[in-house]
Amino acid sequence: MRRKFCAHKISTLESRIENTKTSFDVCIIGAGPAGLSAALWCNELGLRAVLLERRREIGGQLLWIHNKIENHLGARAANGRELREQFAQQIEEAKFDLRVGINIQNICLDKKRLEIADGETIHARSVVIATGLSRKTLGVLGEAEFAGRGMMESATGDRASFAGRDVCVVGGGDSAVENALLLAEVCRSVALVHRGEALRARPQFVKRLNNSPLVRVYLRSKIERIIGDEEVEAVRIVNSEGCAATELKAHGVLVRIGYEPNTKMFRGELKLNAENYISVSNEGETNIRDVFAVGDVANPLAPTISGAVGAGATAAKVIASRLTATTRTQMILQ
Ligand SMILES: Cc1cc2nc3c(=O)[nH]c(=O)nc-3n(C[C@H](O)[C@H](O)[C@H](O)COP(=O)(O)OP(=O)(O)OC[C@H]3O[C@@H](n4cnc5c(N)ncnc54)[C@H](O)[C@@H]3O)c2cc1C
Protein backbone atom coordinates (compact mmCIF):
# COMPACT_ATOMS: atom_id res chain seq x y z
CA MET A 1 0.00 0.00 0.00
CA ARG A 2 1.46 3.37 -0.93
CA ARG A 3 0.68 6.56 0.89
CA LYS A 4 1.70 10.02 -0.14
CA PHE A 5 2.94 12.51 2.42
CA CYS A 6 -0.04 14.82 1.95
CA ALA A 7 -1.17 15.46 5.54
CA HIS A 8 -4.93 15.36 4.89
CA LYS A 9 -4.74 12.08 2.98
CA ILE A 10 -2.71 10.50 5.73
CA SER A 11 -5.08 11.56 8.47
CA THR A 12 -8.03 9.99 6.62
CA LEU A 13 -6.07 6.77 6.32
CA GLU A 14 -4.96 6.93 9.96
CA SER A 15 -8.51 7.25 11.17
CA ARG A 16 -9.32 3.89 9.60
CA ILE A 17 -6.63 2.10 11.63
CA GLU A 18 -7.92 0.98 15.00
CA ASN A 19 -6.65 -1.81 17.21
CA THR A 20 -5.07 -3.54 14.27
CA LYS A 21 -1.90 -5.59 13.92
CA THR A 22 0.16 -5.04 10.82
CA SER A 23 3.21 -6.97 9.66
CA PHE A 24 6.05 -5.77 7.48
CA ASP A 25 9.48 -6.98 6.46
CA VAL A 26 10.98 -3.67 7.57
CA CYS A 27 9.83 -0.88 9.83
CA ILE A 28 11.79 2.36 9.30
CA ILE A 29 11.56 5.12 11.91
CA GLY A 30 12.25 8.67 10.67
CA ALA A 31 11.74 10.15 7.19
CA GLY A 32 14.88 12.26 6.76
CA PRO A 33 17.43 11.43 4.03
CA ALA A 34 18.50 8.18 5.75
CA GLY A 35 14.97 6.81 6.27
CA LEU A 36 13.82 7.85 2.80
CA SER A 37 16.81 6.17 1.22
CA ALA A 38 16.20 2.97 3.22
CA ALA A 39 12.54 2.98 2.11
CA LEU A 40 13.46 3.54 -1.55
CA TRP A 41 15.90 0.66 -1.42
CA CYS A 42 13.38 -1.61 0.31
CA ASN A 43 11.06 -0.98 -2.64
CA GLU A 44 13.88 -1.72 -5.09
CA LEU A 45 14.67 -4.99 -3.31
CA GLY A 46 11.06 -6.14 -2.99
CA LEU A 47 10.82 -5.72 0.80
CA ARG A 48 7.48 -4.71 2.32
CA ALA A 49 8.30 -1.61 4.32
CA VAL A 50 6.56 0.94 6.50
CA LEU A 51 8.14 4.36 7.11
CA LEU A 52 7.00 6.21 10.26
CA GLU A 53 7.58 9.95 10.65
CA ARG A 54 6.60 11.91 13.75
CA ARG A 55 6.30 15.28 12.00
CA ARG A 56 3.56 16.12 9.51
CA GLU A 57 6.11 16.38 6.71
CA ILE A 58 9.09 14.41 5.52
CA GLY A 59 12.67 15.66 5.05
CA GLY A 60 14.17 15.87 8.56
CA GLN A 61 16.96 18.43 8.87
CA LEU A 62 16.68 19.30 5.17
CA LEU A 63 13.83 21.57 6.23
CA TRP A 64 16.29 23.59 8.36
CA ILE A 65 18.80 24.22 5.58
CA HIS A 66 18.37 27.70 4.14
CA ASN A 67 21.62 27.79 2.18
CA LYS A 68 22.48 26.31 -1.21
CA ILE A 69 23.27 22.60 -1.20
CA GLU A 70 26.02 21.77 -3.65
CA ASN A 71 27.85 18.93 -1.90
CA HIS A 72 25.41 16.04 -2.36
CA LEU A 73 26.55 14.30 -5.55
CA GLY A 74 23.87 14.14 -8.24
CA ALA A 75 21.71 16.95 -6.92
CA ARG A 76 21.97 20.70 -6.45
CA ALA A 77 19.38 22.75 -4.65
CA ALA A 78 18.84 26.37 -3.61
CA ASN A 79 18.03 25.13 -0.08
CA GLY A 80 17.05 22.02 1.86
CA ARG A 81 13.36 22.29 1.10
CA GLU A 82 14.10 22.21 -2.64
CA LEU A 83 16.24 19.08 -2.18
CA ARG A 84 13.45 17.54 -0.09
CA GLU A 85 11.10 18.12 -3.07
CA GLN A 86 13.53 16.26 -5.32
CA PHE A 87 13.61 13.36 -2.85
CA ALA A 88 9.81 13.42 -2.61
CA GLN A 89 9.46 13.22 -6.38
CA GLN A 90 11.81 10.26 -6.48
CA ILE A 91 9.86 8.24 -3.91
CA GLU A 92 6.52 9.10 -5.55
CA GLU A 93 6.30 5.80 -7.45
CA ALA A 94 7.98 3.60 -4.83
CA LYS A 95 5.74 1.15 -3.01
CA PHE A 96 6.02 1.47 0.74
CA ASP A 97 3.66 2.53 3.45
CA LEU A 98 4.49 6.12 4.47
CA ARG A 99 2.85 7.49 7.59
CA VAL A 100 3.44 10.99 8.94
CA GLY A 101 2.36 12.58 12.21
CA ILE A 102 2.97 9.25 13.96
CA ASN A 103 3.50 9.00 17.68
CA ILE A 104 5.25 5.79 18.70
CA GLN A 105 4.00 5.02 22.19
CA ASN A 106 5.81 1.80 22.95
CA ILE A 107 8.64 -0.03 21.32
CA CYS A 108 10.17 -3.44 21.93
CA LEU A 109 13.16 -3.71 19.62
CA ASP A 110 13.97 -7.22 20.74
CA LYS A 111 10.60 -8.43 19.46
CA LYS A 112 10.49 -5.84 16.62
CA ARG A 113 7.14 -4.62 17.87
CA LEU A 114 5.92 -1.00 17.90
CA GLU A 115 2.72 0.37 19.31
CA ILE A 116 1.53 3.60 17.80
CA ALA A 117 -1.30 5.91 18.83
CA ASP A 118 -4.73 4.76 17.59
CA GLY A 119 -4.11 1.29 18.96
CA GLU A 120 -2.20 -0.16 16.04
CA THR A 121 0.67 -2.57 16.66
CA ILE A 122 3.30 -2.91 13.97
CA HIS A 123 5.38 -6.09 13.71
CA ALA A 124 8.43 -6.26 11.50
CA ARG A 125 11.23 -8.68 10.77
CA SER A 126 13.77 -5.86 10.85
CA VAL A 127 13.79 -2.32 12.21
CA VAL A 128 15.77 0.61 10.78
CA ILE A 129 16.20 3.56 13.13
CA ALA A 130 16.75 6.82 11.21
CA THR A 131 15.61 9.33 13.82
CA GLY A 132 18.44 11.85 13.25
CA LEU A 133 19.12 14.83 15.47
CA SER A 134 17.17 17.56 17.24
CA ARG A 135 18.37 21.03 18.15
CA LYS A 136 19.29 21.33 21.82
CA THR A 137 17.06 23.62 23.80
CA LEU A 138 17.90 25.79 26.82
CA GLY A 139 15.30 24.21 29.05
CA VAL A 140 14.63 27.52 30.81
CA LEU A 141 11.43 29.16 31.91
CA GLY A 142 9.69 30.94 29.04
CA GLU A 143 11.35 28.99 26.21
CA ALA A 144 8.50 26.59 25.48
CA GLU A 145 5.82 29.13 26.46
CA PHE A 146 6.97 31.70 23.90
CA ALA A 147 7.27 29.26 20.97
CA GLY A 148 6.03 31.20 17.95
CA ARG A 149 5.80 34.39 20.08
CA GLY A 150 9.40 35.53 19.99
CA MET A 151 11.33 32.25 20.03
CA MET A 152 12.89 32.26 16.56
CA GLU A 153 13.38 29.24 14.28
CA SER A 154 16.15 30.67 12.09
CA ALA A 155 17.72 34.00 11.18
CA THR A 156 17.02 33.53 7.48
CA GLY A 157 13.39 32.59 7.94
CA ASP A 158 12.52 35.02 10.75
CA ARG A 159 14.68 38.09 10.27
CA ALA A 160 12.11 40.03 8.24
CA SER A 161 9.72 39.84 11.23
CA PHE A 162 12.39 41.14 13.61
CA ALA A 163 13.79 43.94 11.42
CA GLY A 164 14.47 47.07 13.47
CA ARG A 165 14.04 45.21 16.77
CA ASP A 166 16.37 43.92 19.52
CA VAL A 167 17.22 40.20 19.45
CA CYS A 168 19.33 37.74 21.37
CA VAL A 169 21.25 34.75 19.95
CA VAL A 170 22.47 31.99 22.28
CA GLY A 171 25.58 29.94 21.48
CA GLY A 172 29.22 30.37 20.52
CA GLY A 173 29.77 28.11 17.51
CA ASP A 174 29.58 28.73 13.74
CA SER A 175 25.82 28.49 13.62
CA ALA A 176 25.25 31.00 16.45
CA VAL A 177 27.73 33.54 15.10
CA GLU A 178 26.57 33.20 11.49
CA ASN A 179 22.97 33.74 12.59
CA ALA A 180 23.96 36.75 14.74
CA LEU A 181 25.69 38.30 11.72
CA LEU A 182 22.63 37.73 9.53
CA LEU A 183 20.36 39.31 12.13
CA ALA A 184 22.73 42.28 12.55
CA GLU A 185 22.01 43.18 8.90
CA VAL A 186 18.41 44.09 9.77
CA CYS A 187 17.95 44.28 13.56
CA ARG A 188 18.45 47.27 15.85
CA SER A 189 20.73 45.30 18.20
CA VAL A 190 21.94 41.72 18.61
CA ALA A 191 23.10 40.27 21.94
CA LEU A 192 25.19 37.12 21.56
CA VAL A 193 25.20 35.12 24.80
CA HIS A 194 27.73 32.30 25.21
CA ARG A 195 28.58 30.39 28.35
CA GLY A 196 32.21 29.68 27.33
CA GLU A 197 35.37 31.73 27.78
CA ALA A 198 35.66 32.41 24.03
CA LEU A 199 33.64 31.94 20.84
CA ARG A 200 34.24 28.63 19.05
CA ALA A 201 33.18 29.87 15.62
CA ARG A 202 35.60 29.97 12.68
CA PRO A 203 37.97 33.01 12.75
CA GLN A 204 36.48 34.76 9.69
CA PHE A 205 33.03 34.81 11.38
CA VAL A 206 34.50 36.13 14.64
CA LYS A 207 36.42 38.84 12.76
CA ARG A 208 33.22 39.98 11.03
CA LEU A 209 31.45 39.93 14.39
CA ASN A 210 34.11 42.13 16.00
CA ASN A 211 33.63 44.63 13.18
CA SER A 212 29.88 44.78 13.64
CA PRO A 213 28.89 47.68 15.94
CA LEU A 214 25.39 46.23 16.40
CA VAL A 215 26.46 42.94 18.01
CA ARG A 216 27.32 42.85 21.71
CA VAL A 217 28.94 39.63 22.97
CA TYR A 218 28.31 38.33 26.51
CA LEU A 219 30.84 35.60 27.32
CA ARG A 220 30.77 33.32 30.41
CA SER A 221 27.03 34.03 30.54
CA LYS A 222 23.87 31.99 30.31
CA ILE A 223 20.17 32.65 29.92
CA GLU A 224 18.25 32.03 33.10
CA ARG A 225 14.80 32.98 31.92
CA ILE A 226 12.89 34.40 28.95
CA ILE A 227 10.57 37.17 30.02
CA GLY A 228 7.45 38.68 28.49
CA ASP A 229 3.74 39.10 28.62
CA GLU A 230 2.06 38.24 25.29
CA GLU A 231 5.41 38.01 23.50
CA VAL A 232 9.12 37.89 24.40
CA GLU A 233 10.28 41.22 25.82
CA ALA A 234 13.59 40.46 27.55
CA VAL A 235 16.03 37.77 28.66
CA ARG A 236 17.54 37.43 32.09
CA ILE A 237 21.21 36.45 31.94
CA VAL A 238 23.51 35.36 34.72
CA ASN A 239 27.23 34.62 34.74
CA SER A 240 28.55 31.04 34.56
CA GLU A 241 28.44 30.77 38.35
CA GLY A 242 24.74 31.62 38.25
CA CYS A 243 24.97 35.10 39.85
CA ALA A 244 25.10 38.78 38.79
CA ALA A 245 21.80 38.73 36.93
CA THR A 246 21.14 41.27 34.16
CA GLU A 247 18.09 41.82 32.01
CA LEU A 248 18.56 42.46 28.31
CA LYS A 249 15.81 43.85 26.12
CA ALA A 250 15.02 41.31 23.38
CA HIS A 251 11.96 40.78 21.20
CA GLY A 252 13.36 37.67 19.58
CA VAL A 253 15.53 34.82 20.88
CA LEU A 254 17.37 32.34 18.68
CA VAL A 255 19.01 29.30 20.31
CA ARG A 256 21.96 27.67 18.54
CA ILE A 257 23.71 25.52 21.15
CA GLY A 258 24.17 22.32 19.18
CA TYR A 259 22.35 19.10 18.42
CA GLU A 260 21.49 15.88 20.20
CA PRO A 261 20.55 12.48 18.79
CA ASN A 262 16.91 11.38 19.00
CA THR A 263 17.55 8.24 21.04
CA LYS A 264 15.56 8.76 24.25
CA MET A 265 13.07 6.02 23.45
CA PHE A 266 15.84 3.46 22.79
CA ARG A 267 17.77 4.01 26.03
CA GLY A 268 17.96 0.81 28.00
CA GLU A 269 17.60 -1.42 24.93
CA LEU A 270 20.32 -0.15 22.62
CA LYS A 271 24.03 0.39 23.18
CA LEU A 272 24.70 4.13 23.00
CA ASN A 273 27.97 6.05 23.16
CA ALA A 274 28.76 8.70 25.78
CA GLU A 275 26.88 11.36 23.76
CA ASN A 276 23.85 9.09 23.31
CA TYR A 277 24.50 8.25 19.65
CA ILE A 278 23.67 4.65 18.71
CA SER A 279 26.70 2.35 18.39
CA VAL A 280 26.60 0.24 15.23
CA SER A 281 28.67 -2.31 13.30
CA ASN A 282 30.10 -1.62 9.82
CA GLU A 283 26.79 -2.80 8.36
CA GLY A 284 24.85 -0.38 10.54
CA GLU A 285 23.54 -3.07 12.89
CA THR A 286 22.99 -2.26 16.57
CA ASN A 287 23.59 -4.59 19.50
CA ILE A 288 20.20 -6.18 18.72
CA ARG A 289 20.14 -8.52 15.73
CA ASP A 290 18.13 -7.18 12.76
CA VAL A 291 17.84 -3.72 14.31
CA PHE A 292 19.82 -1.14 12.32
CA ALA A 293 20.60 2.54 12.98
CA VAL A 294 21.44 4.78 10.03
CA GLY A 295 22.26 8.42 9.32
CA ASP A 296 23.10 11.10 11.87
CA VAL A 297 21.66 9.17 14.84
CA ALA A 298 24.55 6.72 14.49
CA ASN A 299 27.12 9.06 12.98
CA PRO A 300 28.50 11.58 15.48
CA LEU A 301 31.67 12.32 13.51
CA ALA A 302 30.59 13.03 9.93
CA PRO A 303 26.90 13.82 9.57
CA THR A 304 26.05 14.51 5.91
CA ILE A 305 23.16 13.98 3.53
CA SER A 306 25.31 11.66 1.40
CA GLY A 307 26.36 9.64 4.44
CA ALA A 308 22.75 9.30 5.59
CA VAL A 309 21.54 8.25 2.14
CA GLY A 310 24.36 5.70 1.85
CA ALA A 311 23.75 4.19 5.29
CA GLY A 312 20.02 3.80 4.55
CA ALA A 313 20.84 1.94 1.34
CA THR A 314 23.38 -0.31 3.10
CA ALA A 315 20.91 -1.34 5.81
CA ALA A 316 18.21 -2.22 3.25
CA LYS A 317 20.66 -4.32 1.24
CA VAL A 318 21.89 -6.21 4.32
CA ILE A 319 18.30 -6.86 5.41
CA ALA A 320 17.34 -8.09 1.92
CA SER A 321 20.30 -10.45 1.73
CA ARG A 322 19.45 -11.92 5.15
CA LEU A 323 15.78 -12.39 4.31
CA THR A 324 16.71 -14.06 1.01
CA ALA A 325 19.06 -16.42 2.85
CA THR A 326 16.32 -17.22 5.44
CA THR A 327 13.74 -17.89 2.72
CA ARG A 328 16.23 -20.16 0.93
CA THR A 329 16.89 -22.11 4.16
CA GLN A 330 13.16 -22.48 4.75
CA MET A 331 12.66 -23.85 1.20
CA ILE A 332 15.46 -26.42 1.67
CA LEU A 333 13.95 -27.56 4.99
CA GLN A 334 10.45 -27.99 3.53
C1 LIG B 1 21.65 24.05 9.01
C2 LIG B 1 22.12 22.74 8.44
C3 LIG B 1 22.83 22.73 7.26
C4 LIG B 1 23.28 21.52 6.73
N5 LIG B 1 23.96 21.54 5.54
C6 LIG B 1 24.35 20.39 4.97
C7 LIG B 1 25.00 20.35 3.72
O8 LIG B 1 25.21 21.38 3.07
N9 LIG B 1 25.40 19.15 3.22
C10 LIG B 1 25.19 17.98 3.89
O11 LIG B 1 25.55 16.93 3.39
N12 LIG B 1 24.57 17.98 5.10
C13 LIG B 1 24.15 19.13 5.64
N14 LIG B 1 23.50 19.13 6.85
C15 LIG B 1 23.36 17.83 7.57
C16 LIG B 1 22.23 16.98 6.97
O17 LIG B 1 21.02 17.72 6.90
C18 LIG B 1 22.05 15.73 7.83
O19 LIG B 1 23.27 15.03 7.86
C20 LIG B 1 20.95 14.80 7.29
O21 LIG B 1 19.71 15.46 7.24
C22 LIG B 1 20.82 13.57 8.20
O23 LIG B 1 19.74 12.80 7.77
P24 LIG B 1 19.02 11.75 8.76
O25 LIG B 1 17.93 11.13 7.95
O26 LIG B 1 20.03 10.88 9.38
O27 LIG B 1 18.41 12.60 9.95
P28 LIG B 1 17.38 13.82 9.98
O29 LIG B 1 17.52 14.65 8.76
O30 LIG B 1 17.58 14.45 11.31
O31 LIG B 1 15.94 13.12 9.93
C32 LIG B 1 15.45 12.37 11.02
C33 LIG B 1 13.93 12.23 10.91
O34 LIG B 1 13.48 11.33 11.92
C35 LIG B 1 12.29 11.86 12.50
N36 LIG B 1 12.10 11.30 13.85
C37 LIG B 1 12.82 11.56 14.97
N38 LIG B 1 12.33 10.86 16.02
C39 LIG B 1 11.27 10.16 15.56
C40 LIG B 1 10.33 9.27 16.16
N41 LIG B 1 10.37 8.96 17.46
N42 LIG B 1 9.34 8.73 15.40
C43 LIG B 1 9.26 9.04 14.07
N44 LIG B 1 10.13 9.90 13.44
C45 LIG B 1 11.11 10.45 14.18
C46 LIG B 1 12.54 13.37 12.50
O47 LIG B 1 11.32 14.09 12.64
C48 LIG B 1 13.20 13.55 11.13
O49 LIG B 1 12.25 13.75 10.10
C50 LIG B 1 23.03 20.30 7.41
C51 LIG B 1 22.30 20.32 8.59
C52 LIG B 1 21.84 21.51 9.11
C53 LIG B 1 21.04 21.51 10.38
pLDDT tens for 34-79 read 999 999 999 999 999 999 999 999 999 999 988 899 999 999 999 9
Q: What is the pLDDT of residue 323?
A: 87
Residues 332, 89: contact at Cβ < 8 Å?
no
Residues 169, 188: Cα–Cα separation, whole Å: 13
Whether residue 190 lies inside any domain: the answer is yes
For residue 114, which of 41, 52, 59 has the smallest C-alpha distance?
A: 52
Residues 160, 56: Cα–Cα separation, whole Å: 25
3 state SS of 16? coil
Separation of CA 27 and ligand 1 centre (Å):
18
Whether residue 142 lies inside any domain: the answer is no
**Residues 268 and 233 occupy one common structural domain:** no
pTM as predicted: 0.88
**Residues 52 and 119 occupy one common structural domain:** yes
Question: Is 104 near ligand 1, meaning CB less than 6 Å away?
Answer: yes
Q: Which of 195, 223, 255 is the last residue of a domain?
A: 255
With b for 16 or more beta-carbon neighbours within 10 A and e for fewer, the 51-66 pattern comes to bbbeeebbbbbbbbbe
Residues 273, 300: contact at Cβ < 8 Å?
yes
120: how many CB neighbours lie within 10 A of its CB?
A: 17
Q: Which bin fits 258, alpha (ψ -120 to 50), beta or left (φ > 0)?
A: left
**Residues 70 and 168 occupy one common structural domain:** no
Question: Is 320 near ligand 1, meaning CB less than 6 Å away?
Answer: no
Q: Which of 225, 255, 285 is the last residue of a domain?
A: 255
Residues 123, 149: contact at Cβ < 8 Å?
no
Residue 298 confidence (pLDDT) above 60: yes
Residue 305 confidence (pLDDT) above 50: yes
Whether residue 141 lies inside any domain: the answer is no
Ligand 1 closest atom vs CA 33: 25
Question: Is 30 near ligand 1, meaning CB less than 6 Å away?
Answer: yes
Question: Is 100 near ligand 1, meaning CB less than 6 Å away?
Answer: no
User: What domain range includes position 216?
Assistant: 155-255
Ligand 1 closest atom vs CA 30: 34
Residues 329, 334: Cα–Cα separation, whole Å: 9
Q: pLDDT per residue over 133-187, tens digit each?
A: 999 999 999 999 999 999 999 998 899 999 999 999 999 999 999 999 999 999 9
**Residues 27 and 76 occupy one common structural domain:** yes
3 state SS of 226? strand
Separation of CA 230 and ligand 1 centre (Å):
32
Q: Which of 227, 255, 283 is the last residue of a domain?
A: 255
Q: pLDDT per residue over 212-250, tens digit each?
A: 999 999 999 999 999 999 999 999 999 977 788 899 999
**Residues 307 and 163 occupy one common structural domain:** no
**Residues 224 and 299 occupy one common structural domain:** no
**Which comes out higher in pLDDT, residue 191 or 6?**
191
**Residues 41 and 125 occupy one common structural domain:** yes
Q: What is the pLDDT of residue 302?
A: 93
**Number of domains into which the chain is organized:** 2
Can you state the percent helix, strand and coil of the chain, rounding each to 5?
30, 30, 40
Residues 290, 127: Cα–Cα separation, whole Å: 7
Whether residue 1 lies inside any domain: the answer is no
Portion of the chain with pLDDT greater than 70, in percent: 92
Residues 317, 41: contact at Cβ < 8 Å?
yes
Residue 8 confidence (pLDDT) above 60: no
Whether residue 283 lies inside any domain: the answer is yes
Question: Is 250 near ligand 1, meaning CB less than 6 Å away?
Answer: no
